[in-house]
């Protein structure tokens, strides 16, 4: 099962966060919201078993 761990405001921002998570060894899917244009938000999903690790990476890297 896949779990949403981050919602980015646009595809470019989502891609940057996706690459950061992938560098940490996490498997990531990007799912568009809206009609799928570059300006639309995207969800970043990871396998449920990796969600806690993904949140830790995001918290550390994004200062939350």
- The three-state secondary structure class of 50 is helix
CA distance 1 to 64: 25
Provide the pLDDT for residue 13.
95
> 12 near 38, Cβ under 8 Å?
yes
Domain map (residue ranges) of the chain: 2-62
Give this prediction's pTM.
0.88
Which element (helix H / strand E) includes 44? strand 42-47
Provide the pLDDT for residue 64.
58
CA distance 4 to 64: 17
- Report the top-level CATH class of 2-62: alpha beta
- The three-state secondary structure class of 47 is strand
Give pLDDT tens digits for 21-64: 999 999 999 999 988 677 889 999 999 999 999 999 999 987 75
């Amino acid at each position: 099962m896949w779990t949403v761990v981050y919602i980015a405001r646009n595809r470019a921002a989502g891609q940057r966060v996706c690459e950061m998570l992938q560098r940490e060894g996490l498997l990531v899917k990007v799912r568009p919201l809206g009609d799928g244009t570059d300006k639309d938000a995207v969800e970043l999903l990871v396998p449920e078993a990796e969600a806690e690790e993904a949140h830790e990476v995001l918290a550390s890297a994004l200062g939350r």
